[in-house]
Structure 1
Amino acid sequence: MDRNNIIKSIKEKKIIAIIRGVSEEQIVQTVGALEDGGISLVEVTFDHDKPDFIESTTKKIWKIRERFGDRVLVGAGTVLTEEEVVAAANAGAEYMISPNVNESVIRKTVEFGKVSIPGALTPTEAEFAYRVGADFVKLFPAGDLGINYIKSLLAPLKHIPFLAVGGVNPTNIKEYLNLGISGVGIGGSLVNKETASYPMKLTTIAQEFVKNSK
């Protein structure tokens, strides 16, 4: 899909489900349950603790693309190196999400025509990331920063599209979105070992997030 359309979809749909620790065997079932619940943006994270993490993560990304096509937009998460950008892009990832600001990762993502979403904590990091090519800046960890911090940071940086990641749950999602950010990333409060094993439960929780985001 065209890069501009990916950016537009993220801004419209607002919720990215973070998939971490889900096996290759469960990945299609998990994404299907999220789609049934109204969430069609997913992030499959690189697990750097595993020796074969690049291969295992890119296999999951490829499986999602093969099964769902453009109905589900899949990105790679915890992208720390240019090598990971290339591997994820070749597997079909449309956006690269990082916990940090790494200029070489941002530039490589842009070079491959993908959407860049680095993670930042301070105004200096956020402005630098956006200046060197980030399409969105992920405020992480949003739950630890708090609503008031994010509100203060947005005041002088309204031109930067922000996502809030960390600590977002069904009861506070609307509060975050009301700040004027472009969207949120949701991890363990949505996809975890339990919900990955019980797709109907995952669908129900996804529906709650979507309903509360309106």
Structure 2
Amino acid sequence: MDAKTLLNTALGRCPLVAILRGVRPAEVEPIVEAVLAAGIGIVEVPLNSPEPFDSIERLVARFGNDALIGAGTVLSPEDARRVADTGAQVVISPNVDTKVIAETARLGLVSLPGYFTPSEAFAAINAGATGLKLFPAEAASPKILNAQRAVIPRTVPILAVGGITPDTMSNWSGSCEGFGLGSALYKAGMDAEQTGRNAAAFVAALETF
């Protein structure tokens, strides 16, 4: 399955990405088990977490057939290659680095760089991005994204990331194709039970999206 089909299929099942910034390898599996049980099927371990590649390898080994596992805060082509070596399928960045995007595309992985302006969006698309994340979404608005959508092709999925809560998701209805869920879903040190409850609240909020 190519990267575009992989991403669109996963978003079609559940348009949410669980961002587990700060998670540790020893706790990552039960936390992701709770996230998946709630219905979220895309998981990101940011590379500024403790021993992130260890966590990613564990998740790929245990959940790789049932979920889309990826790395976040990927800032170099070298790290994109390390992500590929783990068997993960998604590379997510906070910025538009065309070298990272091009290398991710070359590797056949899903590329989801963060952008904020139309210029950044088109630079990312031209470099091979599979989709985009509007980041930080809390500094933008659905109105801004709707205006950008006059030129950014609808064939490129856009996720709103940054400051998203279950209560604000409905505001973005019709503007984006999904969301990245950060601290409102998981904070470092949070246990699997609480993370699962938070995940379930986000999934329930999709009814209004």
Instruction: Report Cα offsets for 1:130-179 as digits up to 9, x if no partner.
Output: 12210101110001112222222222224332111001100111222x13
Match of 1:201 in 2: 194
Displacement of 1:68 in angstroms is 1.5
State whether structure 2 residue 84 is matched by structure 1 residue 89: yes
Match of 2:10 in 1: 10
- In structure 2, how many angstroms separate the alpha carbons of the residues matched to 1:4 and 1:128? 18
- In structure 2, how many angstroms separate the alpha carbons of the residues matched to 1:69 and 1:109? 18
Do the aligned partners of residues 41 and 173 (structure 1) sit closer, same or farther apart at CA in structure 2, a change above 3 Å counting? same
CA contact (8 A) 1:42 1:73 kept: yes
1:18 is aligned with what amino acid?
A: I
Residue 116 of structure 1 is aligned with which of 111, 117, 124? 111
Match of 2:150 in 1: 155
Match of 1:140 in 2: 135
State whether structure 2 residue 69 is matched by structure 1 residue 74: yes
Identity percentage of aligned residues:
34
3-state secondary structure, aligned to 2:204: helix
2:177 is aligned with what amino acid?
A: S
3-state secondary structure, aligned to 1:67: helix
Bigger mean CA offset, 8-17 vs 98-107: 8-17
- In structure 2, how many angstroms separate the alpha carbons of the residues matched to 1:66 and 1:89? 13
TM-score between both structures, scaled by the size of structure 2: 0.92
TM-score between both structures, scaled by the size of structure 1: 0.90
Match of 1:171 in 2: 167
Runs of 4+ in 1 over 4 A off after TM superposition: none
Displacement of 1:2 in angstroms is 4.7
3-state secondary structure, aligned to 2:64: helix
Equivalenced residue count is 205
Do the aligned partners of residues 184 and 93 (structure 1) sit closer, same or farther apart at CA in structure 2, a change above 3 Å counting? same
Bigger mean CA offset, 87-96 vs 147-156: 147-156
Match of 1:36 in 2: 37
- In structure 1, how many angstroms separate the alpha carbons of the residues matched to 2:116 and 2:52? 26
2:8 is aligned with what amino acid?
A: K
2:119 is aligned with what amino acid?
A: T
1:207 is aligned with what amino acid?
A: A
RMSD: 1.6
Match of 1:105 in 2: 100
Displacement of 1:4 in angstroms is 4.1
Instruction: Report Cα offsets for 1:69-122 as digits up to 9, x if no partner.
Output: 311211110000011000011012111100111111011001111011111110
Greater helix proportion: 1
Match of 1:25 in 2: 26
Do the aligned partners of residues 41 and 8 (structure 1) sit closer, same or farther apart at CA in structure 2, a change above 3 Å counting? same
- In structure 1, how many angstroms separate the alpha carbons of the residues matched to 2:53 and 2:37? 23
